[in-house]
Structure 1
Amino acid sequence: MATKRIESPLPGVIYLSPAPGEPVFKAPGDSVAVGDTLALVEVMKSYMPVEADQAGIFRGYLVETETVLEPGEPLCELEV
């Protein structure tokens, strides 16, 4: 299987869970389906989901929650 890096589509603050204190969207080893939300990007008080465009196994996040990322910066990895 190959490893695919999911990159931030927009500049903004990355959130790895749906709300503070909640579990992360995906944990290493979780199955990922096309369209699953992997993170949220906050841009000017709007929250945009980062969704999987391929199915696979989640390998892990490459950043911490509330990290500021630019477009194209790696966010997480999938085994596809």
Structure 2
Amino acid sequence: MSTVEAHVPGVFYRRPSPDAAPFIEAGSVVEAGQTIALIEIMKTFNEVKADKSCRVSKILLDDGDEVDVGQTMFEVDEP
């Protein structure tokens, strides 16, 4: 198991807009470079992208949660 940490501080979002489906769910298999979340800082949205292909085993934050640099957002496993 490995983790995905926040690279910037801000507000965490799992979806691109309030009425949209989440980028991923627990159990999703993602490809390297795929957007998996957003972090908002002062009305600027920063994409969180998967560094490698993996399976998301656990999502540790909810939409609107504040996140700090280095905070774990996801637990992932090899696909």
The range that moved more, 11-20 or 22-31, is 22-31
3-state SS of the aligned residue for 2:51? coil
Unaligned 5+ segments in structure 1 are none
Unaligned 5+ segments in structure 2 are none
Partner of 2:21: 23
**Moved runs in structure 1, 4+ residues, more than 2 A?**
none
**Aligned-pair CA distance for 1:4:** 1.2
Q: Percent identity?
A: 29
Q: Distance in 1 between matches of 2:35 and 2:41?
A: 17
**Aligned-pair CA distance for 1:21:** 2.0
Partner of 1:32: 30
**Alignment-mate amino acid for residue 41 of structure 2:** V
Partner of 2:9: 11
Partner of 1:52: 50
Identify which of 40, 49, 53 aligns with 1:42: 40
**Alignment-mate amino acid for residue 28 of structure 2:** D
CA RMSD of aligned residues (A): 0.9
- Normalization by structure 1: what TM-score? 0.91
